[in-house]
Structure 1
Amino acid sequence: MEPLTNESIFSDVYHALIHSHFISTLLKLEHEYAIILSSFFKQRAKYLNFSMELVRCRQEMEEAVRNIGTNFTDNQVNQLAKKHIEVSEMESSKWSSALSTVKDKQRREYRDQVMKLHELLLIEKSADNAASNSVDSYLFSPLPGTSSASGPVNNKRGVQTRREDCFTVNLGAQMKTSHNLRLVSCHVLDMCRLQLSDAFTGQRLQTAISLYSNKLCGLVLLVDNRINSHSGVKKAFAEVCQQTTDFHFPDLSEQLESIQTAVQAGHNDPPHAPLQAPNEAHVHLRQTSPSARQPRLNVGDLYITRHSNLSEVHVVFHVATDDSLHAEVSSRHPVILAYRNIIKTAFNSDIKTITLPLLLVHEMTEEMTIAWCLRRAELVFKCIKGFIMEMSVCHFEESFNIQFLIPETLSDEAFNNFSTMMPSIFRMSNPLVATSQ
């Protein structure tokens, strides 16, 4: 028997609380902490926009660029740019350190509160005291600043209307199992964002209840071949993760650092040495030749991060991609094979819902015509169907939810075409029953 650790004890305690009447107390506490962080980010943005040092650096750069070749040489402009970057990084570092301090404090307070509530829960179970009625009336009171009425969610991206279409299909060679398929049109990060509004409780409720369960939710994020959070969708995803404190798992930056260490160790190991992934995260990486201090991933390589502070996601599969996905691809493309590994991981783990980009891209470009989209969707639909049937041989009793995500900028016509294509591809022929007269 494995010895109990603080993390395993905390997970058991949290799971017990989240399935009791104390769930409202925990969600209130998370909401209060999220409001504190929201205020922190507003204060940081205001400071970085109006800092005298940063404003002076920006003015110097603007003047140098306007007068380059006359009053300023190229070397002087480069020096000013270097100075501006150094000042910006110094200021950002100060705020990052302050943010870490705030989050560490919230994490300690939250965990202490969880343990105290668990003690109270044990007391209530052992003795039916009169105080439980008054406690319940407090626990189920509305969150501060919210109402019981529901309404449209308003965020920085505006009011989002998510287009969805759902199907239930039976897949399998002999023993068929029902699986739920959903076509969803929205931005990929809308699956992760929490809103400080009436929707906060609803968004957190299902994710919190299933956090330590066998019904986890996974999301596929298509990224470049560097393990960091400095650009593109990785940077936007890191900003979403920063908005609230993760009380259960290490911050994204810590997980990425652990993954980077594991990848570096894999590059430095002998060709046949197995790659040992750290406890904080997992990485699926093909062995490549040794490289520089920051090795790059191959297309189709993926690494996994865990999260408890997102809206509809517990696990994120970061898949390395490149511009080859903008052209025509086959079923043997490394990213398609990465989808197979993800489906296999979901079947072998407790991940029962997987959300993946149908077109293998997050954003549309000019060369992606309707015909291109239909060919790409047909390819991915057929591959996913094959992967599910392949994995169902050993897991024929398990039902899964597959969500196919398409960019929100696609037209209603394209959405309807995909919706029509899904049942035709996943349709299973029914046996013909012959009757005798």
Structure 2
Amino acid sequence: MTAETLQNTTKTFKFSYPTCTNEDLLFKLEVPVEIPHGGSTRELVQRVLKMFHIPVYLEDELNEKLAEFVAEETKKFHNERDAKLLDQLKNSELNIEGIVKNWEKLFKENVIDFAEQKGSSDEEVFAAAYHKLVHSPALDTILQVEANYAKTVMNMLKNRDEDIKKLTQTQTEEMEEKMRLLNTLTTEEEINELAVQHFEQQSLAAGRWDSQLDALRHTQRAAHRAWLMTAINEYQTDEKITPSNSPLMSFPTELAPLPMTPRLEESFTIHLGSQLKQTHNIRLAALDMMHLCSVQRPDADGGGWAGAQPALALYSGELSGAVLLVDSMPTRSPLLSSARAAAEHHFPDVDAQLRHIAEAIKEPVEKRNAERQSSKDGSEKEQRPRYRGAVRLQAGDVFVTRHSNLAEAHVVFHLVADDESLKSGDMTSRHPAILGLRNILKAACCNDVTSIAFPLLLKNELTEEMTAAWCMRRAELVLKCVKGFVLEASGGGGADLRTLCATVPPDIRPALFSSLAALLPTIFRVSGPVRAKTTTQ
């Protein structure tokens, strides 16, 4: 017997019951039942009752007896079958390879019949092609193409700003002339009509330029993807460094160099954990967070396009993140200006992402606001109509945008922070901004972000109340919380945060920066060289 030849068996079910006139006289019923029984025992009982004209008052008893018989015989069948198979396995009588092939065949047939016929999506194919090309000699070509695409967008943005500036200047002169002739040759109604015309002209000009920019970005995105898919085929066959149909043929390759400014920076290798120690790199740098989120950056030679590192890590498990402090959903910010200055070839553009986020948070924010309002006392409930319909994020909330055209960040975590509460010098670890930072670090570990930069003082710039003592207290609190959050996040699985970059405003005093750098070894366990002492004889 083998696994392929095992068959069901037939057992005889016996049932006896007395006659209506004489209890000593029994009717005996024998019914063959296939074991294992593939049907319903209740259905079989109904067939037996009808076929042998058995009284209906015996239905419950017959059903109970038949169910017990089928269960017992099925158990015996499985025990005997398994015992025989184990004996054959011990004696090497089973065709293991044949059983495996049979199961493989059945599994494939089942998948073909019932599984959804779905292959790799276009996004997955493009991601694989891009990842292979950027890890080949074609990397320089790709970076130059993207740099020239960005320069084209920047030139159009510059033309837009100049056009709107000229229009605004013309309108200002026209309005000043009308105001000068007020009550002589011009009336207030004419001035109001002129103001409406100016507003319509401004809206029309802005809409026209926005439409042209959207069309340019979509054209560049489509052309970039089509060129990359052609380039991957050409590179795989001919292994050329630069594909013959490179868009560089139609673009200038010179980019204006940007000035390099020196900055204060310290780096430490730290160990976290008591038993199973984890090694991390923590940096303290005096820089603006927008320096990490800009589009055009100087490279090591003093100019050009520095996008190699973000491109190499784009489709990998080593993403880079940055934490930006915002008031609410940004509509005008330096990040949006940077992201819009170059075509987004891999993710939806930043405006589409923000629209999606605004729609996604509408319902949960309204629900949270309603719950918080319902928990207030009666006097505060009377003020509810003033807040009705307002959907605003609160301090500690976080939303995320994805980018492929920024200098050193693939993921930007927007942390909503209340500027007034952040000015306080007695902030605790339960502050909403600190809890938001905790959620950011957990999300980073769960989504392959291994390097993240965050503002150490939870402030974008230095103000009057930020004295040296204030900065030291705030830095100590944030670093201690980050230490615990990193340990908590790494214990939950996912990627390890290998690099932590704590940033401070770029105009910080060197003495204060040195004090903050000296604070790191007191909070973290810093690795250092072992110095062996030798004695001379």
| Count of residues in Structure 1 that have an aligned counterpart in Structure 2 | 394
Q: Is the 8 A contact 1:207 1:312 kept in 2?
A: yes
Shift in CA distance, 201/294, structure 1 to aligned 2, threshold 3 Å: farther
> Shift of residue 253 of structure 1?
0.5
Task: Give the alignment of 1:37-436 within 5 angstroms.
Answer: 37-51=153-167, 54-61=168-175, 84-124=198-238, 132=240, 145-146=253-254, 154=258, 159-195=260-296, 203-225=306-328, 227-230=329-332, 235-267=333-365, 295-322=391-418, 323-328=420-425, 329-395=427-493, 398=496, 400-427=498-525
Shift in CA distance, 81/46, structure 1 to aligned 2, threshold 3 Å: same
- Secondary structure of 2:306's partner? helix
> Shift of residue 94 of structure 1?
1.3
> Shift of residue 194 of structure 1?
2.8
Measure, in 1, the Cα distance between the counterparts of 2:230 and 2:433: 46
Q: Is the 8 A contact 2:404 2:410 kept in 1?
A: yes
> Shift of residue 393 of structure 1?
2.9
Of the three residues 131, 137, 144, the one matched with 1:28 is 144
Q: Is the 8 A contact 2:396 2:432 kept in 1?
A: yes
Measure, in 2, the Cα distance between the counterparts of 1:63 and 1:371: 56
Q: Partner letter of residue 315 of structure 2?
A: Y
- Secondary structure of 1:203's partner? coil
Deviations 1:356-387 (A, max 9, x none): 01111112222222221111111111111111
Whose Rg is larger? 2
Shift in CA distance, 417/173, structure 1 to aligned 2, threshold 3 Å: same
> Shift of residue 140 of structure 1?
12
Q: Partner letter of residue 121 of structure 2?
A: T
> Shift of residue 205 of structure 1?
0.2
> Normalised by the size of structure 2, how large is the TM-score?
0.66
Q: Is the 8 A contact 1:191 1:313 kept in 2?
A: yes
Q: Partner letter of residue 394 of structure 2?
A: N
Deviations 1:17-44 (A, max 9, x none): 1111221221121122122112212211
Structure 2 residues not aligned, in runs of 5+: 1-115, 371-384, 529-537
> Shift of residue 255 of structure 1?
0.3
Q: Partner letter of residue 45 of structure 1?
A: D
Structure 1 residues not aligned, in runs of 5+: 126-131, 273-288, 431-437
Q: Partner letter of residue 334 of structure 2?
A: A
Q: Is the 8 A contact 2:269 2:526 kept in 1?
A: no
Q: Is the 8 A contact 1:264 1:293 kept in 2?
A: no
> Shift of residue 271 of structure 1?
9.7
Q: Does residue 15 of structure 1 match 2:15?
A: no
Measure, in 2, the Cα distance between the counterparts of 1:242 and 1:113: 22
> Shift of residue 201 of structure 1?
5.8
Identity %: 34
Deviations 1:304-353 (A, max 9, x none): 00000000000000111112111121111001001111111112220001
Q: Partner letter of residue 170 of structure 1?
A: H
Measure, in 2, the Cα distance between the counterparts of 1:367 and 1:408: 17
Aligned-residue CA RMSD in angstroms?
3.7
Q: Partner letter of residue 325 of structure 1?
A: L
Relative contact order (alpha carbons < 8 A, sep ≥ 6): 1 or 2 greater? Answer: 1
> Shift of residue 4 of structure 1?
2.3
Measure, in 2, the Cα distance between the counterparts of 1:140 and 1:166: 39
Q: Pick which of 395-404 and 171-180 moved more.
A: 395-404
Shift in CA distance, 92/396, structure 1 to aligned 2, threshold 3 Å: closer
Q: Partner letter of residue 35 of structure 1?
A: K
Deviations 1:112-160 (A, max 9, x none): 00100111123237xxxxxx47869x9999x95559xxxx962xxx642
Q: Partner letter of residue 19 of structure 1?
A: H
Q: Partner letter of residue 263 of structure 2?
A: R
Shift in CA distance, 114/301, structure 1 to aligned 2, threshold 3 Å: same
Q: Is the 8 A contact 1:24 1:140 kept in 2?
A: no
